[in-house]
């Protein structure tokens, strides 16, 4: 599933495409998406700034002075592309916004776990799913103390706690596993066991791996593509995720895999010792 760096890469791609012509028409496939709304309300609206909150995009639209919003979740395999109306639509295209400048914005989602909502921008910002999200890990003021306040009392293991979007917005399995390695913390350590110094290391590690992911254009393990159809380069930077059995880049010991809560992960048994809790 696209995480914060992948969604941020899509946001930047949409802004770089300079999509500002009014929406002339909309099209939807007959297939249901996990989240869907009334795209027809966008006809005549002029696209504006594209924002991101966690793993969601919020595209602001000006509809005759009314501030509308298009809330988008990419799901497991959703992606945007800009095309001409004469270009063939690829398989699994599920909605299209026709613009007055003779371009189309197309949403492709093979697995159909993504989707969209349309409404007043202020309403979308103030209700679920956006209203329930935790702090942005790349915002000013995000540090170990804030992370400890959100997760320090949790009985969950660290990796699982970091995936809670109500605690920290935008972090998924890939970047959680990478950050825990960078911070030298075992992914199955209970969150309540950490001291202030460990929370500070973890907050810094999260910011480092997320910023690296953005700089690399996101991570493509299978489906992710940016707005121009290119894959990300973040997979080349991964230190442990997906590298079970390979030598640790720090100490050379074989990396070890685990499965917890239905999600897999990887850690170094030497550099990420599991803390014993009495």
Q: Helix 196-215 vs helix 173-183: angle between axes, to the nearest 10 degrees?
A: 130
pLDDT digits (tens, 9 = 90+) for 153-183: 999 999 999 999 999 999 999 999 999 999 9
> Does 278 score more than 50 pLDDT?
no
pLDDT digits (tens, 9 = 90+) for 70-111: 999 999 899 999 999 999 999 999 999 999 999 999 999 999
Backbone φ and ψ for 8, nearest 5 degrees, come out as: -65, -35
Q: Which of 2, 5, 47, 187 is catalytic?
A: 2
Instruction: Give the CA radius of gyration of the chain.
Output: 20
Is 263 a catalytic site residue? yes
Is 55 a catalytic site residue? yes
* Cα 123 versus chain centre, distance: 22
- Specify the pLDDT at position 161: 97
Instruction: Name the more confident of 225 and 275.
Output: 225
What lies within 8 Å, CB to CB, of 235 at 6+ separation is: 219, 220, 221, 242
CATH of domain 144-267: 1.10.8.50
pLDDT digits (tens, 9 = 90+) for 174-223: 999 999 999 999 999 999 999 999 999 999 999 999 999 999 999 988 77
> Does 277 score more than 90 pLDDT?
no
Q: Which of 3, 6, 8, 104 is catalytic?
A: 3
The residue-averaged pLDDT of 5-31 equals: 96
Q: List b or e across 241-277, with b for residues whose CB sees 16 or more CB atoms inside 10 angstroms.
A: bbeeeeebeeeeeebbebeeeeeebbbbeebbeeeee
Please state whether 4 falls in left (phi above 0), alpha (psi between -120 and 50) or beta.
alpha
- Is the pTM value of this prediction over 0.85? yes
Rounded to the nearest integer, the mean pLDDT of the chain is 94
> Does 47 score more than 80 pLDDT?
yes
Q: How far apart are CA 123 and CA 119, in angstroms?
A: 7
Pair 221, 234: CB distance under 8 Å: no
pLDDT digits (tens, 9 = 90+) for 118-159: 999 999 999 999 999 999 999 999 999 999 999 999 999 999
Domain range list for the chain: 4-132, 144-267
Q: How far apart are CA 25 and CA 104, in angstroms?
A: 9
Is 91 a catalytic site residue? no
Please state whether 161 falls in left (phi above 0), alpha (psi between -120 and 50) or beta.
alpha
Pair 202, 209: CB distance under 8 Å: no
Q: What is the strand order of the sheet 115-120 is part of?
A: 46-53, 56-63, 66-73, 115-120
* Cα 180 versus chain centre, distance: 18
Q: Which of 46, 52, 55, 106 is catalytic?
A: 55
> For 13-27, 29-43, 94-108, which range has the lowest pLDDT when averaged over its residues?
29-43
- Specify the pLDDT at position 119: 96
CA distances from 251 to 143, 175, 188, 254 (A): 28, 21, 20, 9
Correct CATH for 4-132 of 3.40.50.1240, 3.20.190.10, 1.20.200.10, 2.40.160.10: 3.20.190.10
Q: Which of 89, 250, 263, 274 is catalytic?
A: 263
């Amino acid at each position: 599933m696209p995480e914060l760096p992948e969604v941020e890469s899509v946001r930047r791609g949409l802004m770089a495409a300079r999509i500002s012509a009014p929406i002339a028409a909309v099209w939807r496939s007959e297939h249901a998406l996990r989240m869907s709304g009334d795209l027809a309300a966008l006809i005549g609206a002029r696209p504006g700034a594209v924002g991101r909150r966690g793993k969601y995009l919020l595209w602001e639209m000006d509809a005759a002075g009314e501030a509308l919003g298009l809330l988008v979740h990419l799901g497991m395999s959703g992606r945007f592309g800009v095309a001409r109306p004469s270009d063939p639509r690829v398989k699994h295209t599920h909605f299209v916004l026709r613009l007055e400048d003779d371009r189309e914005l197309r949403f492709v989602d093979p697995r159909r776990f993504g989707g969209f909502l349309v409404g007043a921008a202020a309403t979308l910002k103030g209700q679920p799913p956006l209203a329930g999200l935790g702090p942005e890990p790349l915002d000013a003021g995000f540090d170990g103390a804030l992370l400890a306040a959100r997760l320090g009392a949790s009985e969950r293991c660290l990796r699982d706690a970091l995936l809670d979007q109500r605690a920290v917005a935008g972090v998924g399995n890939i970047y959680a596993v990478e950050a825990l390695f960078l911070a030298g913390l075992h992914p199955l350590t209970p969150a309540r066991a950490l001291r202030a110094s460990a929370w500070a290391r973890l907050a810094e590690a999260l910011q480092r791996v997320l910023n690296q992911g953005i700089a690399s254009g996101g991570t493509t393990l299978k489906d992710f593509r940016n707005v121009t159809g290119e894959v990300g380069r973040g997979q080349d930077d991964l230190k442990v995720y997906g590298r079970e059995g390979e030598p640790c880049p720090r100490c050379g010991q074989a990396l070890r895999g685990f499965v917890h809560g239905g999600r897999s992960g990887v850690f170094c048994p030497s550099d990420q010792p599991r803390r014993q809790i009495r």
